Structure formats: C-alpha cells, structure tokens
Amino acid sequence: MSTARPSNLVWVPFFTLIKREIKRFMKVAVQTVLTPMITASLYLLIFGVSLGSHITLTSGVSYLAFLIPGLVMMGCLNNAFQNSSSSIVISKFSGDLEDLKIAPITNQQILWAMGVGGLFRGAFVGFVTLVVAEVFYYFSEGLVLGIQHPLILTVFLIFGGLAFAFLGLSTAFWAKNFDQLAAVNSFILLPLIYLGGVFFSIESLHPFWRSVAALNPLVYFINGVRYGFLGISDVDPLLALAVSGITMVVLYVTAYFSLKRASFIRW
C-alpha cells in the first residue's frame, strides 16, 4: 500500500477544503441566495426608494446610489463571517472538525482555505445584492449603476471578505456554544456594520460622533467599496485602503493564534 506523496500535501488539501466550503454554502441556497435577495430588496424598498426620495446628499448622488455599495459590502462582510464561523461551529458539533486536525493539513492551510471560502460566499452574496439593487436602480433612475473603479472595488471586497472570514474563524474557535457565537454577531458585528456608514454619510454626523465613527474600521471598508462604485467616499480612499489592509492583517494574526490554541475536539 502506498500513501499520498508529500508534495501533494501542499495544494490538494488546501483546494479540497475550499471546494468543501463552497459546496457547503451552495447546499444552503435559501440562506446564501434567497435570504440576501429578500433582505436587499427590503432595504432598497424602504430606505432606497421610499425614504431615499426625501434625502438629499451633499455629494450630489442619489440616496439609492449611495446605499447600494454599502448594502453590497454589508452582505459580503456578514456572509464571510457567517460562512467560516458556522462551518467551524457545525463541525465542532458534528465531530468532523477532528478530521481536519487528524489529516495532514496545516493551520495555515485551514486558515487560508476558510478565509477564501468565506470570501467566496461574501462575494457571491455581494453580487446577488448588486443584481437586485441594479433592478431597483434601473426602475428608479432609468439606468444601470456603473462601477467607477472596478479594481479598487475588488481589492476592498477581498480585504473585507477575508478579514471577516478570519474574524468568524476566531470567534467560532473561541465560542463554547451557539449562544456565544450569536452574541458576537448581534452585539459586536451588526452594530459595527450598521454604524459603519451603510445607510448614512459620516459627513452628516456631529464632529464628536464623526470622530467616534472614525474608530470603526467598518467605515473604511464600506467607504472603500463606495469609492470603487461611485468615485466618492467619506474618507480618503488611501487611508481607507491602509486601515482595511491593517485590519485584515490583525484579524489574520488573531485567527492564526486562535487556531493554534484551538481545541478540535467535538462538543
């Protein structure tokens, strides 16, 4: 009997894990396709179309156009987090997390595969949100919302998707039960996203609250994506890029140490 050649242990396990993550989220299409479509439609209908028609922004773009990049990024970040965290927590529960520890897969391979898996789901949901938003935008404005800087948009989506997938991984290894995972999502993640400038321009805030908002890294991720779409941003795009990049690195390092210290034994 011959075992696998060590040279195959670099990329094959890594891509297998990514494939598994993608297949997993594609099997729950109600969560990954239908739910974001409905959520995006509701936000666009209530905030974009209904309330948005009464809101004037100093930047000169319509409120609906302002809202769309934020919703795309919100969907991406939320789902990147959900993907890696739920994958780990479910695996802890079912016991198949032990398979990863026993198999010849390194922590780096697990970390990056989970990150890329989360990014795929985040980008996929971001795309679904954009498709829905474009329909709303077309019926409201009579044209399709273009993308001013596609490369910049892609970079911010990659940074955001990876960063939140790493955060999901750390949270899932830290959590001792489903409640703790839900608590992080409800009490930390969602407030940061909602206060990160998805629905409003931080320019419109009181200077004190503007300074507080500047401490929220989500402001930079969301404004980076908004700059990619519209060419406008509440913060300097270079500063947004730097903060987003640093946040991603910090969350990567946190995830690495979480994984190193983590228990893979089933709940």
Tell me how far CA of residue 255 lies from CA of 93, 111, 162, in angstroms: 20, 7, 11
- Which residues make up the interface to other proteins (CB under 8 A)? 1-9, 12-13, 15-17, 19-20, 23-24, 27-28, 90, 94-96, 98-106, 264-266
Nearer to other proteins, 84 or 247 (CB): 84
Nearer to other proteins, 6 or 207 (CB): 6
> In Å, how far from its chain's centre is CA 221?
10
Q: Which residues of 115-134 are buried (b: 16+ CB within 10 A; e: fewer)?
A: bbbbbbbbbbbbebbbebbe
Q: How far is the CB of 49 from other proteins (least distance, A)?
A: 37
CA distance 75 to 133: 12
Nearest to residue 237, comparing CAs of 249, 251, 225? 225
Q: How far is the CB of 10 from other proteins (least distance, A)?
A: 8
Nearer to other proteins, 80 or 100 (CB): 100
Nearer to other proteins, 156 or 264 (CB): 264
Nearest to residue 115, comparing CAs of 251, 220, 246? 251
Q: How far is the CB of 208 from other proteins (least distance, A)?
A: 48
Q: How far is the CB of 39 from other proteins (least distance, A)?
A: 23
Nearer to other proteins, 49 or 105 (CB): 105
Q: How far is the CB of 50 from other proteins (least distance, A)?
A: 38
Query: How many beta carbons lie within 10 A of that of residue 215, not counting itself?
Result: 7
